[in-house]
Structure 1
Amino acid sequence: MFFFLLYDFFLFGSLLQTSENFNLNNEVQEFFFQLLIELSSTTVLSSNCSTKNLQIALIDLIFVLLKKQKNQYIADNNEIENIESKLPEQIQDLYTTIKIIIAWRDPTKQTLLPEAFFQQSNDILGNNFKTNQDDFNKSNNHFNTNADQDLINLMTNDQSLNDSFSKFIQNLPKETQSNTTFYKNYLSLSNIPSDSIQIRSHFFYILNKFIEKSLPIVDLSLPLGQSFLTDQIRIIKPYLLSSTKFQLLAESLEKTEVEYSGDWNIVNFDIVKANSNSDNNENTMFYQAYQQLHTNAHITFRRSNEQLWHAQYIGMHSTDHGGPYRDSITRICSDICSSRLSLFILCPNGRTNSGLNRDCWIPNVFPPNKSISNKYKKQYRFVGQLFGMAIRKKHYLNIKFPILLWKKLLNESITVEDIEAIDLQSFTIINETEKNIEQIKSIDTDNNIDSLFSSIMDELQFDVVSSSGETYELISNGSNIPITIDNFKYYCSCYRQYRLNEFNRQIDFIQQGLYTIIPSYYLSLLTAKELEQAVCGKDQIDIEFLKRNTLYEGGYNQNSSPIERFWTVLSEMFNDDQKKLLLIFVWGRSTLPIRDEDFSSKFIINTYDVYQGEVDQVLPRSHTCFFTIDLPAYSTTDIMYERLNYAITCCSSIDGDGTVNDARIDEGFDSDGSDDEE
């Protein structure tokens, strides 16, 4: 019974949106309206799953119905407001939220914000931040999509917003003219008057408050197109503050966490075998981890333990207090994005050294008419489980995948532009041919299109060269079917469908693994870029961000000369690769957390007392288990650079103390370098 009612409600809602002539008679409308009031009389959403789903469907249907009545002038604003006023407050807030989104997305900028927006804005922020419709219209004159996104990024990255909106506004420039210095990292804001930026910030802040209140009564698990209200929330997700989304995600992670276990998983790694030049991918660190972890990963990776396994390097003397564990994750990632495994391949742009994203890896390609073997299915799922582990434990993965993979994990559509971003030539042939055909049609006077077309497409059949370089048939026996003027459109359709769906199965398996570790519900609020950052951390090493999360010990402070030289080397002399190597040297990982609160421990810079020899001849020493570096007080910035660069390049092996010491003696250096066995 409930199933059929749900189906009818969603069907009615869809028909109301798509058909101008479809409407419900007054008796049916009144019945649905009274049913919603009755179902919501005690609580907005029932704890009973079936009743809750029915309520959500009704809430959606009533909104679409009222919206259509207003658009077709069947009911005036007063009548609609009178109907809405009888609904529970939380449903009214949801309807207000959707009206705000509709007004904001109106390309004509003619739709007014609902009055409830300004009323609740005053309730939340008080009279000090009063705004009106004219203020909103003024900001519309200065903001486009890029500027809106830059402002959201500014609000997300500004720590003062965590304290209060008032403090955030106080930190913004007050003058009416633009301020290029303050907005140097948000270029599209640099030419916008500061008062308009303040108004727009106010709008986004209140919008986020409305959405926070509304999320409990929308169903984010519904597929695209089934719920008008849910689709509107999804559309607006790039403009939700990351703090809002990650807080909701954190709450869902806490609810699905597995209790702490004192029984450690010992994972044995044969480094010698992993470093061999053998073509056997079962020697890799990834496969060794997969063999020992994948069976129970859906439980192990959800445990509350800070460290999920102990890495035991066979034949070596490392004791794992965190350093070898993080090092093993780094080595696993190195295998994932490499030719040592058959799961991923370098993208076509990388292989041809052309276009964008040349360093990105894509899922390997399998014949479209054959199933993928269970061996690869399980390994793809394990990759997804590693993604989930990274999100839960903030052990970020140093992997490089294109945006299309992250979009597909969130069930977003992959576009032609996404494919061209990893394969510049992917659609060149059919695009050029379509243009040529149009030109032929426009100039041909002898109706001899067939022969001209045949001369262009003489060597093409119904097949496609995949992203791996293999050729596959697009239809049965396609390699023997020539392309003609009559079937060319069908060929183009098949070609585009193949390229847009080429990686679907592989990414679906990764998604299955991810969802065994991370609940999908609030994950769907993330953008593709946010999901990538949640798994991989920040792509760039933000030195100011690291400095903000650094402690000084042993007599050092932030004004000590060696400390100032250290930060000068990192910010002005090290390139991106050197910064990552330094992070590996001191922490066993190559990426920073996304937010300050995600640091499980602060970076510690400690003094290094030298009792024999000259301090400038000593190398720094790291303790990766404790995110610590013992830093000698080098006399100049250039010497600081040389010693740090040598240490991060030559002394980062977990078990390399003896070998590294010998190398340092040969080079004339005297210190212990990396001390990663702690």
Structure 2
Amino acid sequence: MSPPAMSQASVFQPSMLSPEASPQASPHHSPGSQRTYETGFLPAGWEVRSAPNGRPFFIDHITKTTTWEDPRLKIPVHIRKQSSIDPGDLGPLPPGWEERVHSDGRIFYIDHNTKTTQWEDPRLQNSAITGPAVPYSRDYKQKYDYFRKKLKKPADIPNRFEMKLRRNAVLEDSYRRILSVKRSDVLKARLWVEFEGEKGLDYGGVAREWFFLISKEMFNPYYGLFEYSATDNYTLQINPNSGLCNEDHLSYFKFIGRVAGMAVYHGKLLDAFFIRPFYKMMLQKSITLQDMESVDNEYFNSLKWILENDPTDLDLRFTIDEDLFGQTRQHALTPGGEDIIVTDRNKKEYIHLVMQWRFVNRILKQMTAFKEGFYELIPQDLIKIFDENELELLMCGLGDVDVNDWRENTKYKNGYSHNHPVILWFWKAVLLMDAEKRIRLLQFVTGTSRVPMNGFAELYGSNGPQLFTIELWSTPEKLPRAHTCFNRLDLPPYVSFEELREKLHIAIENTQGFDGVD
């Protein structure tokens, strides 16, 4: 018997509509429950309209599709606020530097302060442009190596676990396929993912793309299973009202737990970040007041004030207000809480109960289902060697791209070298990209938008560790092409920086699937 399908309101596919038709209003979403975000201008070709119930939806006139999902919300706020750099906006060279032209026509730079020369433009070596350095952790590396050695592959399972999916129904197809598996050890077999109508062979790249795509779907707040923790913080938390959005929500949380376990087991990364209490609950650790600070700083400061002062005169009770689809209702933190005043003597108990209500009690069933699925693949005692910060890195990797680290861990083939003009142009183009474009380039060449904890030195391909490689290929008329299974970029020998930058941009913006990639 196959797992139950998602309810119609949850699996609604706005991409099936014509661009002029608005999505039908979902009974599980009221205008009052929608958040307001600081997002800036819509991308080119997009338009926002309102459904009859007031809920905004978005039209992409380029692809002639509609969606509930705001296209500006696919990346964190701190990334959205950055923009690509125009080469003409770099300003003057630093003091003591000079730009000259080599006999072969290439530009190089002289640092008269240190009496050295280099090909790289020093204005592009600012940490604000290159991205934050990788926070290498030797302790984490030792734990990770131990963890991977202990994760043994069962001997009596098939050679591979196959999933044949429709790209426009990746969530529903994956849900049915993964929950149909009765023996969870089967999910530890080599993943083999095929998308309907695409001829790509899965040497690891398609599986990585699947984790990226399924993450976007599973954790999309519009499905009602997860929600953003705050309007200015793109970490996710379990939606305590998920059962009102999907009657099968607990089976979906078990499915999501299995997917998360598969990602960790197979060394892949989820394209999401969760609030710190989520990881602590996975590790069976207590939630403290300090955990509130990164989730809701204003609420944290209020509770901290209560802890440090006598709150008796505030006439607070052991109750808390809960918002449910625009309606506020009062919840007692303890039996008879509406009659218990918060005083200097009982304020610690009050804060403890608030924390339990906020992070534990309301989502206990959902978290239990998630952990059930996760621990089917990853032993609970083994995952406990990590703390909550390390667990986040294990599951989700790093969200920022350190270009210096990327460049230092890159190989070149077929005539390219680190100081070849085309390679210098390539890294200049990467440095001039905004953070979003760098992440999209990373996904284009590796199949994932996340960087391993200890940086690009630990990139994995189909056959184990595989550094990013740029290979000279074809002629300047061609676009760059990627082999995500091998972390390789085939880069034609373009004749100018402008041509390379334009064609790299086209390749990144217009890639989907693995047609033509071997």
- Structure 2, unmatched stretches of 5+, are 1-125, 128-135
Give 1:331 shift: 0.8
Letter in 2 for 1:301: L
Q: 1:512 and 2:372 equivalent?
A: yes
Question: Within 5 A, what are the aligned runs for 1:479-558?
Answer: 481=338, 484=341, 489=347, 494-501=353-360, 502-558=362-418
Q: 2:167 and 2:429 mapped to 1: Cα distance?
A: 33
Q: How many pairs does the alignment contain?
A: 374
Aligned match of 1:641 in 498, 501, 506? 501
| Alpha-carbon offset, residue 412 of structure 1 | 2.0
Q: What whole-Å deviation, never above 9, does each CA across 1:492-513 have from its counterpart, x for those lacking one?
A: 5543431242444433332222
Once the two structures are superposed, residues 92-127 of structure 1 have per-residue CA deviations (whole angstroms, 9 ceiling, x without a partner) of: xxxxxxxxxxxxxxxxxxxxxxxxxxxxxxxxxxxx
Shift of residue 363, structure 1, vs aligned partner: 0.6
Q: 2:452 aligns with which of 593, 599, 611?
A: 593
Aligned pairs for 1:287-306 within 5 A: 287-296=172-181, 298-303=184-189, 305=190
In structure 2, relative to structure 1, the CA distance for the partners of 1:468 and 1:300 (3 Å cut) is farther
**What's 1:604 paired with?**
469
SS at match of 1:359: strand
Instruction: Say whether the 8 Å CA contact 2:458–2:467 is kept in structure 1.
Output: no
The yes-or-no answer on 1:563 pairing with 2:423 is yes
Residue 364, structure 1, aligned to residue 246, structure 2: no
Residue 253 in structure 1 maps to residue 151 in structure 2? yes
Structure number with higher strand proportion: 2
Q: Provide TM-score, normalisation by structure 2.
A: 0.62
Instruction: Kindly state the Cα deviation for residue 239 of structure 1 after the two structures are TM-superposed.
Output: 9.1
Given that 1:290 and 1:379 are in contact with CA atoms closer than 8 Å, whether structure 2 keeps it comes out as: yes
**2:322 maps to 1:465:** yes
Q: Per-residue displacement from partner, 1:349-401 (whole Å, max 9, x unpaired)?
A: 22xx3xxxx1111011149xx99998333322222222222222222111121
Amino acid in the other structure paired with 1:312: F
Counterpart Cα distance in 2 of 1:609 and 1:624: 18
> RMSD in angstroms over aligned alpha carbons?
3.7
Q: Deviations over 1:458-516 (max 9, x none)?
A: xx78343269876452258869x456478985765543431242444433332222221
Give TM-score, length-normalised by structure 1: 0.49
Task: Work out the CA distance in 1 between the residues paired with 2:236 and 2:246.
Answer: 21
- CA distance in 2 between partners of 1:244 and 1:467 (Å): 45
Query: Considering only CA atoms, is the larger Rg found in Structure 1 or Structure 2?
Result: 1
SS at match of 2:180: helix
| Structure 1 residue 553, shift from structure 2 partner | 2.2
1:631 CA displacement: 0.8
SS at match of 2:279: helix
Once the two structures are TM-superposed, the CA of residue 648 in structure 1 deviates from its matched residue by: 1.0
Alpha-carbon distance in 1 for matches of 2:471, 2:409: 14
Q: Give the structure 1 partner of residue 433 of structure 2.
A: 574
Letter in 1 for 2:192: W
Q: Is the 8 A contact 2:280 2:286 kept in 1?
A: yes
Cα drift, residue 252 of structure 1: 1.2
Task: For residue 642 of structure 1, report the CA deviation from its aligned partner.
Answer: 2.7
Query: Unaligned stretches of 5+ in structure 1?
Result: 1-183, 186-237, 275-284, 441-452, 656-674
Asked if 1 retains the 8 angstrom alpha-carbon contact of 2:273 and 2:392, the reply is no
User: More helix per residue: 1 or 2?
Assistant: 1
Residues 515 and 343 from structure 1, CA distance in 2 versus in 1: closer, same or farther, beyond 3 angstroms?
same
Kept after mapping to 1: 8 A contact 2:263/2:269:
yes
Aligned to 1:398: 271
Query: For 1:112-511, what aligned pairs fall within 5 Å after superposition?
Result: 241-254=139-152, 256-258=153-155, 261-262=158-159, 264-272=160-168, 274=169, 285-296=170-181, 298-303=184-189, 305=190, 308-313=191-196, 315-347=197-229, 349-350=230-231, 353=232, 358-366=233-241, 375-427=248-300, 462-465=319-322, 471=329, 473-474=331-332, 481=338, 484=341, 489=347, 494-501=353-360, 502-511=362-371
For residue 503 of structure 2, give the secondary structure of its aligned residue in structure 1. Answer: helix
Query: For the structure 1 residues 642 and 625, does the alpha-carbon distance in structure 2 shift closer, same or farther, using more than 3 Å as the test?
Result: same
Structure 1 counterpart of 2:513, from 650, 654, 666: 654
Partner of 1:447: none
- Distance across 2 between alignment mates of 1:525 and 1:372: 35
Give the fraction of aligned pairs with identical amino acids, expressed as a percent.
23
In 2, the alpha carbon distance for the partners of 1:605 and 1:295 equals: 41
User: In structure 2, how many angstroms separate the alpha carbons of the residues matched to 1:592 and 1:494?
Assistant: 38
Q: Which has the higher contact order (CA 8 A, sep 6+)?
A: 2
Equivalent-residue separation in structure 1 for 2:342 and 2:411 (angstroms): 70
Opposite residue 158 of structure 2, the aligned amino acid is S
Pairwise CA distance, 1:569: 2.4
Per-residue deviation, 1:333: 0.6
